[in-house]
Amino acid sequence: MVSIEHVAHKILAYVPYVLVLIDMRYEGVNCGRDGSVDNHMEMGKKLLAAGQLADALSHFHAAVDGDPKNYMAYYRRATVFLAMGKSKSALPDLSKVIELKPDFTFARLQRGNLLLKQGKLDEAEDDFKKVLKSNPSDKEEQEAQSQLSKSDELQRLVTEARSSFSNKDYWRAAAQLDTIIETCIWDVTSREMRAECFIQMGETGKAISDLKAASKLKNDNTQAFYKLSTIYYNLGDHEMSLNEVRECLKLDPDHKQCYSHYKQVKKLNKQIQSAEELIQEQRYEEAVSKYEAVMKTEPNVFHFSLLAKERICHALGQSQQGSRAISVCSEVLQSNPENVNVLKDRAEAYMQEEQYEEAIKDYETAAKHSENDRQIKEGLEKAQRLLKQSLKKDYYKILGVKRTAQKKEIIKAYRKLAQQWHPDNFQDPEEKKAAEKKFIDIAQAKEVLTNPEMRTKFDHGEDPMDPESQHGQSSHFHGGFHGFQGFNPFGSGPFNFKFNFN
C-alpha cells in the first residue's frame, strides 16, 4: 500500500525538475506587479528547490497576498503544498491557477491527477479531456491519455466493488477496492468501504488502518472515530476505545452515538483502573469484586469477560485462595491456552493446593511460550523440589496444617497430635512401635515449622532433618529421638523426650 508520505517525498524529489520546465515554458510571463512580489517569488523558488518548504511557503503566501492575480504565485504555493503532503490545500490553488490562466495545461494535468488520487473520477476525467483538447506537449498528451484510460477502468471497478459490497461478497469487494486504492490513495469513500469489508471479514487490524487514514483524509470524520472506538472496544482495548471516542466528541460534542458509547467506555475504564489499583494495594478481595462488576457492566464483549477472569485468577492466587484461583484460571485457559500469565498464576495456585505435578505441567507449558521468563524458571524449580519433597516427608501434612499456617496453629495441632500419639497410650508392642515413629515425625514437624530458618529451607524443598538434604551437615535433632532417649513431657513410662511448647 502506497503511503501519503511516500507520495509527498516523490513529489518533492521532482520539484526542481518541474520548476525548470515551467520556467522554460512560461518564460517571460510577468509574475508580479512590483519588485517585492518578484523578490518573494524568486526567494520562494530557491527555498523550494532546496527543500526548505516552510520558508518557501511563507514567501509564496506573501506573493499571493501582494498580487492576487499572479497565477504563478498560486502555482508555486500549490507545489509546496504537494511537497508537504497537503493535497487538500494544493487543490484550491491549482483551481485558481486554471481560473486565471485556462491554457496552463500542466496545472490542469496536476489537478486531474490530484482529483484521481482523491477518487473524484468524474472531475478528474473532465480535466484530462480538457488537456487533450488544448495544445498539450507530447508528454502532457501522453500522460493525460494514460490517466483518462486509468480513470475509465477505475470507474468500472468502483461500480463492481459497490455491487459486490451490496451482495455481501466482502472478499471480492475488498480485492476490488485494493486495486482502486492503489491509485486513489486519498479516496475516503473507498477506504471506509474497505474498512467495513475488513470488519465483516474479521480482519480488524486492516480495518483500523483504513479508518485511521480516513479520519485524517476527511475533516470532521466523526463516523471514522466512532467505528475505531467500537472496534477497539470489541477487542477489549478500553483505553484506545476511550481515546478514539474522545476524538469524535471533540469534533461534535453532541454526537449521539459517540456520547452514548463514551459513557459506557468511561465507566468500564474507571472500573478496570480501580481494580488494578486495588491489586497493587494487595486488597485482593475488593479487586475481585470490582472485576466481577466489570463483567456485569459489559457482559456481551468476550474480551472484557476474559480480562476480568484473568485478573480475578491472579488476585485469588495472590490471596492464597488456591482452589478458587484454579477454577477461574482454568476457565480462562479453555479460551486462551497459551496465556502465559494465567499459566503462571494457576501453577502457583496448584502449589498452594499441593498439586505439584499439575503445577509443573503449567510451568512447562508457559516456558514453551516464554523461554526467558525468570519467574517461570524459578517456579518450575520450586514445584519440582516440592514434588520431590512431597514424596518423602511433608511436615505440613504430618501436622495437618496448611502451608500458610501461623505458629500458633502449628503448636496447637502439634499438642493435639502429640497427646494422641504418645507411646504411653499404646500397650501392644507393634502399636507402640508405630506410635513411636509417628510421635517422632510429629515432634520433628513442630520443630521445623516453628523455626523460621528451618521452615524457610523446607518451603524451598530442603528437609532440615534429612542429613542427605543437608549435604552432610548434622541434623538439628542429632539423633536425639533415637530409642526415645531424653525427656518425657507427659511424665510417665521409660520415654524421655524434649519439646519446646513456646
pLDDT of residue 179: 97
Q: Does 3.40.50.620 match the CATH number of domain 396-484?
A: no
Residue 354: predicted pLDDT:
86
Provide the total of helices (H) and of strands (E) in the chain, helices listed first.
24, 0
Distance CA 66, CA 80 (A): 18
DSSP labels for 250-282? HH-TT-HHHHHHHHHHHHHHHHHHHHHHHHHTT
CB of 236 closer than 8 Å to CB of 258 = no
DSSP-derived secondary structure for 63-99: HHHH-TT-HHHHHHHHHHHHHTT-HHHHHHHHHHHHH
C-beta of residue 268 within 8 angstroms of C-beta of residue 292: no
What does the alpha-carbon distance between residue 363 and residue 375 come to, in Å, rounded to a whole number?
9
Percent of residues in the chain assigned helix, strand, coil, to nearest 5: 75, 0, 25
Distance (Å, rounded) from C-alpha 117 to C-alpha 245?
Answer: 29
What confidence score (pLDDT) does residue 468 get? Answer: 63
Q: Are 380 and 356 in contact (CB under 8 A)?
A: no
- Tell me how many degrees the CA angle 281-285-286 measures, rounded to the nearest 5: 65
pLDDT mean by block of 10 residues, the chain; 502 residues:
48 44 42 68 90 92 92 94 89 95 93 95 96 92 95 96 97 97 95 96 95 92 95 95 96 95 96 96 97 95 95 96 95 95 96 93 94 93 88 85 91 93 88 88 92 89 73 43 39 42 39
Q: Which three cell numbers stand for residue 187?
A: 479516496
Q: Is 474 left (phi over 0), alpha (psi -120 to 50) or beta?
A: beta
Q: Determine the pLDDT at residue 35.
A: 55
Which secondary structure element, helix H or strand E, spans residue 401, and what is its range?
A: none
> From CA 214, how far away is CA 192, in angstroms rounded?
7
pLDDT of residue 107: 94
Q: How many CB atoms are located within 10 Å of the residue 439 CB?
A: 23
Q: Decide: helix, strand or coil at residue 300.
A: coil
- What would the grid cell of residue 145 be? 491519455
List the domain boundaries for the chain. Answer: 396-484
User: Cell 470532521 maps to which residue?
Assistant: 220
pTM value is 0.68
